[in-house]
Structure 1
Amino acid sequence: MGRAIFLLALALVIGGPSLCGQSAVDVKRPEERAREQKVVEREEKKKAQSTNLEIRGATAFKEDELRTVLKEQIATIHDFGLTAARADDAAFFLELFYRKHGYAKVDVHYRIESGSRLVLEVTEGPQVILSAINFAGNSQVPAEKLFEYAVGPTRERYSRLQKELPFVATDVQEGADLVHRYYISEGYLNAVVDPPQYHFSADGTRVDATIPVHEGRQYFFGNLIFHGNTIYAPETLRGQMLDLLSQPYTEHRVDDISRRLQAYFKARGYYAVKVDATGESEQATGGHVPVIVTISPGPVYKFDGVNVTGLQRLRPSYVRNRFASLEGKNYSPDVLDEKFRELMRTGLFNVLQINPQPEAGNSLQLDISAEEAKAKEFGFSVGYGTYVGGIVGLSFADRDLFGYGRPLTTSIEISQRGYKGEILWDDPHFFESDVELKFRVSAFTFDFEGYSKFEIGARTEFSYNITKQYQVGVFGSERRVEIVSNDIKDKFIGETRYFVSSIGLFHTLDLRDSPVVPSRGLVLGQTFELAANALGSDIEFFRTTARASYFIPIGKTLLEVGTRAGLIRPLKESTSDITAIPIDERFFNGGRCAASPSAISGRMIIGAIRLAGNFIPSLTSNIPSPFTANYRARFLSMPATCCPKRIIPASMTCAMGSARGYVTNFPLVRSGSIMG
């Protein structure tokens, strides 16, 4: 009865918060705009099929396909009437379509019959194939390299498996322009590429193109000559662009020199720095162009104050406090970018703009314009597991509880083996510091193979990031556990009703390139936990777990290889006494959770004995395969998004592990594996 009352209370917490809509501006998501565009296209296609239009002489393409090509022009005729100008537009675009497919001699004429009937008469002619593209005058760059640029505009519309491409004169001309741009990008400043010359076969079905090239000399970077107040030594400044200086000379790379040096000075507080780089190609010697760099650094600026506008529900102090640590420090765009990313990760904002504004005394005020996202989110889930059976879940989250920017999440999940409820309060800035507080209250029941349990408890956790990669934390936990039924011999069960009070610490080293969507990197983590009578615990033990995962990119997918290990020991009783540690606190091997990357608590029956132990190693490999889901839900009057265009991870896992322990003074060592 008590368990039902507790879960009912959780349900009331989920339904209790106000379900009124948010006042933030509802910005259309990209997928919504795409859906609207598809609706417009479908309407245009319907109009294209219903308009009084006849296409005569077309044999290479079906009429439905040609109508689709002309859907915009036909829709205009459908809506505003047929005129000579609109008929001419339709004929022009139809002819353009044919030419894009190699019909170089196509001719399309229009005729208006009975005042409202449009007839397009097509004289297709033969499809012309591009036999070859030859280059004349290239001595430094091989023809094979130039060919890829010349044929690129046509190739991008066809598969690379298609050997013969249609001849499209505009594409070949565009390809010649790409060849010229390639020469410029490789330092051939005086390169000239003449218009293509075409040579048709006798029957007019094939054409050879010749592109004359005048390469000229290739140029490289010469000396960098610095003028103005450079602040730093020339060797230091030159070191910021060694990769650019080793490449051929181009005007684009000269502009990159200015951008590199501006970024270098701004990262050191010179907000108003001006850098002008000019290449002196007329003074080039031996193919090396000197570059004059003029620097005006200006004063060093410091952060001073924040002005916030656009907030509706979130208190402005939340945003100001995120930037309070910057006050009095030198300006740095990298620091601002990191703060911006930190705020956007909270999910509190749709739009966030940070504009530094110079003030008197070489200080910068940050003008922050924000548009809030919807803070409340209602979610539901339906699933099935081979071990737990059917699963139904409900959740409610408020990312901006009372306007302080602290999220509260509540959830209930019911499966064929049990049910659980949870409330999570997350304060990423405890007392406006860099310490994160998480407080979790939960209760659940579960029917394992061999016994059923009920557990209710709370966990308080403080964590701190010493660096971006290294996190440390401490926690305190209190749980009341009851084995409500079992079909295992009592001598193997241990305590069936007990209270656990424990403290512990953990640390994590995350070397992945991205904690959200990693493509490679290593993650290491370890937890230490101590339960003792001095803390009010009925049982005493020391437990530690460790894990390591490495992410390896393989083509477009990702392989995760992980290993885990755990050790639990009673503080007073002998390790040979299996009942010293209650059954639900031991490590188990086998089952759906034992070797998965997310837990080490699976179960496996060996005869009438549940295999358990005080040490468990496991090795896992996992290939995540994300896919997207896009759906919405409405609950009463509150618009709520349930996983809108969110990446949902799916994976294939292979794992193996073992558990070691003692039953009646005989060691039990068993191994198990899981794949799914």
Structure 2
Amino acid sequence: MIKRTIILLSLLSTSANCYASVIVKGNKRVDADTILVHGGINVANRNAKLDESQIDIAIKKLYETGLFKKISASNSANDTIINVEENPMIHTLVIEGNRRIKNEEILPELILSERSIYNILKVQKDVETIQRLYQKTSRYAVKVHPKIIELPGNKVNLVYEITEGGRTLIGNIHFVGNSVVSNGKLKDVINSKEDALFRFFSTGPSFDIDKVNYDKELITRFYQSRGYADVEIKTPVVELDSNQNCFDVTFIINEGKQYKFGDISIESEIEAVNAENLKKFAKVRKGSTFDNTEIEDITQKITDYLGDQGFAFVDVEPEMDKTEDTINIKLIIRNAPKYYVNKINIKGNLRTYDKVIRREMKVTEGDAFKASEITAAEQKIKDLDFFETVEVDIKPLERSEDKVDIDVEVKEKSTGSMNFAVGISDLQGAVAKIVYSESNFTGRGQKIRLSATKTKRDTDFELNFTEPYFLDYDLSTGFDADNLFKDKSKERSFTSHTRSFSLRAGYDLTDHLSHALYYKIRKEKIGDLDNNASILLREQQGDNTLSVIGHGFNFNTLDSKVYPTKGLNISLSQDLAGLGGSTAFMRHEFKSSAYVPVYKEDVVLQLTASAGQVNSIRDKKILATERYFLGGDTVRGFKDYGFGPRDKTTGEALGGNAFYSAKAQLSFPIGLPKELDVKGLVFSDFGSLYKLDYKNYAFGTRSSVNDTNRLRASFGTGLIWNSPAGAISVSLANPFKKEHFDKERKFRFSILSEF
């Protein structure tokens, strides 16, 4: 179809020349006037044609639109004729062969989409985009082949055929120029790792250019923390082998010389801040090796301190004055105003209620700004583990010189999980466990957990529910239900079937000290006792009911719930049984553990101590299931129920009414790569279990029982491996303080895998 338009042509450049008529040919989807506008041509009058340079400019501009496959233009006697061939429209865009990256992750990153205009240059850019996405997953051998399927009506289907290939690994990591630090130490510092058999489950050996560039920063910080303030790490050299199977990475290092600390001074530009009061934070020994992390730590402490005084955006700038071998530091506190909190805005919580987030923040609108409270609130919100990301942004108000808004933006994540675990140990045999948990039930922060555990001789079903803020008070409440069958016929000649229900409430007294109250009722049936079993066990056969009220205090400063390296955990509890039920007693228990980093976080000393006693009330017999039993993991080198009161005739473990135990254990690396997470152990355990309420049994019972409060003790060594397949532990212990009737087990092992 030929459209003829008589126009005055003028380039957008400011040309004022007049042109003859211009004819556009070949256009089917794009209007002729639109083509002229895209070509930078304005219609005014009809007096002149385009010259060659103007035609070239118009063609270039039309190509830049991406709408046309071919464009040509020429002058006839009276007209300028523009011939175009339009690019087709994309009817369907398909991605094939992508197993590692989903369509939902690829399509939003592409320029082209369905119903957009096909353009070969944009296709090439999209191919590069797909390759970059795969390179982020260390798949540098990925191949992307675009394929066009032509359709009637100038339409096409666009197909990206992907051959993903395997992960591209790091073959070798080299260091050039390092003389004071070994290659092995530097390899421990960086995140990138060389390919090795033991890293089969690890992502460490996968090549990632962002990780390699970050390694440059890690090496720089490592040297600067050891006095080499002038260290220079050049851009890493990355070479891909001919088969594209692996990369070689080389870090070129100019170490420079080592410096020592000189003088440290503080200067404040804020009139209300006395620099003398800040010197308590600048405790660095003059003449000691320079460590840039210490300067960062001092700067952060001053920033936090001033932040708590309301200076939200204070800037502490360190100035370094280097001499021959020392560095003098001047910390300059730049001028900044005091701030107050205007509004707290919660964003991104599609499922979680606002109040669940707000109650983790001590700061409220109108309060003086305190940086430590904001930092603590951010960490508490992260600790909820409800969100994929938590970002707290402090924004000063444009209309106010002393107020800020606090924006808390979160990204929700799945908080429900179904976990399975299988394992084996020398104590319980095969172990299977299934757990369903939801930590943000109905978006109110409530926790629910349902679990089932089966071992060779035990079966356990549990249901737990926790409301962390009862009626919006800082009071945690909940209940627990349990159905447990235990077969202890091998150690204690009986089986027990227990059903229990408990209510609990707890609250914080300080940041680290908490108090809990609880009530438990339990129905228990003890059975399957042999006629020759100990009298202390046979008399308890049948149904029993336990009704207990109790409370406890806990003081916890551990840095991790799973793998602590420093801090204390101390608990003290008291139970009173006898408000109904078939038994009555008073129980007191003390437990404590301390973790001390001996060398950084690599070598950790663990010290634990525990003690407990249960005393009968109103001459009621204490159930065997309420007595204490030691051995096994408590004092290694002995079997479970390996020491304590024992029947002289049957050899059965009877348990005791009083115990104490302690452990000293040192964990340390054994020279294997850090990412393997294998640690060696040396330990010494000791304790004692004794005392039965003989007066509640027949005369002469005491003489038939081995019962002594003598110390039992052992020492030994072991290994712990947090492997990709699960936690594996082995230990070898030698009991050097024992009694002739104790049961020993020197070697122990366990494997537990969760998935």
TM-score normalised by the shorter chain: which range applies?
0.5 to 0.7
1:346 pairs with 2:384: yes
**Distance (Å, rounded) in 2 between the aligned partners of 1:588 and 1:292:** 59
**Distance (Å, rounded) in 1 between the aligned partners of 2:567 and 2:357:** 32
**Distance (Å, rounded) in 1 between the aligned partners of 2:412 and 2:514:** 29
Match of 2:688 in 1: 657
**Distance (Å, rounded) in 1 between the aligned partners of 2:256 and 2:460:** 76
1:380 pairs with 2:420: yes
1:40 pairs with 2:139: yes
In structure 2, the CA distance between the partners of 1:243 and 1:456, relative to structure 1 (3 Å rule), is: same
Which amino acid is the alignment partner of residue 519 of structure 1? Answer: T
1:451 pairs with 2:494: yes
**Distance (Å, rounded) in 1 between the aligned partners of 2:345 and 2:175:** 57
Q: What is the CA-CA distance between 1:227 and the residue it aligns to?
A: 5.9
**Distance (Å, rounded) in 2 between the aligned partners of 1:308 and 1:564:** 44
Which amino acid is the alignment partner of residue 315 of structure 1? Answer: Y
Q: What is the CA-CA distance between 1:331 and the residue it aligns to?
A: 1.9
Match of 1:161 in 2: none
Which amino acid is the alignment partner of residue 507 of structure 1? Answer: F
Which amino acid is the alignment partner of residue 463 of structure 2? Answer: I
1:463 to 488, 506, 509: 506
Q: What is the CA-CA distance between 1:459 and the residue it aligns to?
A: 2.0
**Distance (Å, rounded) in 2 between the aligned partners of 1:648 and 1:186:** 31
Which amino acid is the alignment partner of residue 460 of structure 1? Answer: L
Q: Is the 8 A contact 1:549 1:562 kept in 2?
A: yes
Which amino acid is the alignment partner of residue 691 of structure 2? Answer: R
1:481 pairs with 2:519: no
Q: Is the 8 A contact 1:494 1:582 kept in 2?
A: no
SS of the residue aligned with 1:329? coil
1:572 pairs with 2:618: yes
Q: What is the CA-CA distance between 1:401 and the residue it aligns to?
A: 1.0
Q: How does 1:161-200 map to 2 (within 5 A)?
A: none
Match of 1:424 in 2: 464
**Distance (Å, rounded) in 2 between the aligned partners of 1:439 and 1:650:** 39
Match of 1:148 in 2: 180
**Distance (Å, rounded) in 1 between the aligned partners of 2:260 and 2:447:** 60
Note the alpha carbon deviations across 1:324-375, whole angstroms, 9 max, x for none: 6544433222222222222222221111111122344833332111111211
**Distance (Å, rounded) in 2 between the aligned partners of 1:382 and 1:270:** 53
Match of 2:280 in 1: 239
Which amino acid is the alignment partner of residue 407 of structure 1? Answer: K
1:544 pairs with 2:591: no
Match of 1:615 in 2: 658
SS of the residue aligned with 2:435? strand
1:316 to 354, 379, 401: 354
Note the alpha carbon deviations across 1:146-187, whole angstroms, 9 max, x for none: 9527xx7899689xxxxxxxxxxxxxxx9xxx9xx9899689
Q: Is the 8 A contact 1:446 1:452 kept in 2?
A: yes
In structure 2, the CA distance between the partners of 1:391 and 1:260, relative to structure 1 (3 Å rule), is: closer
Which amino acid is the alignment partner of residue 505 of structure 1? Answer: H
SS of the residue aligned with 1:525? strand
**Distance (Å, rounded) in 1 between the aligned partners of 2:678 and 2:621:** 41
Match of 1:525 in 2: 571
Which amino acid is the alignment partner of residue 608 of structure 2? Answer: G
Q: What is the CA-CA distance between 1:279 and the residue it aligns to?
A: 7.2
SS of the residue aligned with 2:445? coil
The structure with the largest alpha-carbon Rg is 2
User: Normalized per residue, which structure has more helix?
Assistant: 1
Q: What is the CA-CA distance between 1:406 and the residue it aligns to?
A: 1.4
**Distance (Å, rounded) in 2 between the aligned partners of 1:253 and 1:586:** 52
Note the alpha carbon deviations across 1:384-405, whole angstroms, 9 max, x for none: 2333332221111112211112
Match of 1:503 in 2: 549
**Distance (Å, rounded) in 1 between the aligned partners of 2:139 and 2:471:** 52
Which amino acid is the alignment partner of residue 586 of structure 1? Answer: R
**Distance (Å, rounded) in 1 between the aligned partners of 2:333 and 2:292:** 16
Q: What is the CA-CA distance between 1:267 and the residue it aligns to?
A: 2.5
Match of 2:337 in 1: 298
Note the alpha carbon deviations across 1:267-318, whole angstroms, 9 max, x for none: 321114355666799xx9xx9979594642312x233432122223222331
SS of the residue aligned with 2:352? coil
SS of the residue aligned with 1:319? helix
Q: Is the 8 A contact 2:469 2:477 kept in 1?
A: yes
Which amino acid is the alignment partner of residue 655 of structure 2? Answer: A
**Distance (Å, rounded) in 1 between the aligned partners of 2:260 and 2:272:** 34
Q: Is the 8 A contact 1:443 1:457 kept in 2?
A: yes
1:582 pairs with 2:623: yes
**Distance (Å, rounded) in 1 between the aligned partners of 2:135 and 2:331:** 52
In structure 2, the CA distance between the partners of 1:477 and 1:228, relative to structure 1 (3 Å rule), is: same
Q: Unaligned 5+ residue runs, structure 2? A: 1-103, 107-131, 144-162, 164-170, 189-215, 231-254, 709-738, 749-755
Q: How does 1:112-261 map to 2 (within 5 A)?
A: 148=180, 220-221=262-263, 226=267, 228-243=269-284, 261=302
**Distance (Å, rounded) in 2 between the aligned partners of 1:398 and 1:551:** 31
**Distance (Å, rounded) in 1 between the aligned partners of 2:446 and 2:367:** 27
1:357 to 395, 399, 406: 395
Q: Once structures 1 and 2 are overlaid, which stretch shifts more, 413-422 or 386-395?
A: 386-395
Match of 1:400 in 2: 440
SS of the residue aligned with 1:580? coil
Q: What is the CA-CA distance between 1:469 and the residue it aligns to?
A: 3.1
1:439 to 479, 500, 508: 479
Q: Unaligned 5+ residue runs, structure 1? A: 1-24, 28-32, 45-78, 80-96, 103-132, 134-145, 159-173, 189-212, 574-578, 628-644
**Distance (Å, rounded) in 2 between the aligned partners of 1:297 and 1:306:** 22
**Distance (Å, rounded) in 2 between the aligned partners of 1:230 and 1:558:** 45
Q: Is the 8 A contact 1:618 1:657 kept in 2?
A: yes
Q: Is the 8 A contact 1:588 1:659 kept in 2?
A: no
In structure 2, the CA distance between the partners of 1:593 and 1:580, relative to structure 1 (3 Å rule), is: farther
Q: Is the 8 A contact 1:353 1:370 kept in 2?
A: yes
Q: What is the CA-CA distance between 1:467 and the residue it aligns to?
A: 2.9
**Distance (Å, rounded) in 2 between the aligned partners of 1:513 and 1:462:** 24
In structure 2, the CA distance between the partners of 1:595 and 1:147, relative to structure 1 (3 Å rule), is: closer
1:267 pairs with 2:341: no
**Distance (Å, rounded) in 1 between the aligned partners of 2:677 and 2:384:** 17
Q: Is the 8 A contact 2:627 2:655 kept in 1?
A: yes
Calculate the aligned-residue CA RMSD, in Å.
5.3
**Distance (Å, rounded) in 2 between the aligned partners of 1:508 and 1:396:** 27
Q: Is the 8 A contact 1:605 1:611 kept in 2?
A: yes
Q: Once structures 1 and 2 are overlaid, which stretch shifts more, 500-509 or 270-279?
A: 270-279
**Distance (Å, rounded) in 2 between the aligned partners of 1:235 and 1:296:** 16
**Distance (Å, rounded) in 2 between the aligned partners of 1:548 and 1:451:** 32
Equivalent pairs, count? 482
SS of the residue aligned with 1:399? strand
Q: Is the 8 A contact 2:307 2:372 kept in 1?
A: no
**Distance (Å, rounded) in 1 between the aligned partners of 2:349 and 2:592:** 42
Q: How does 1:3-42 map to 2 (within 5 A)?
A: 40=139
Match of 2:233 in 1: none
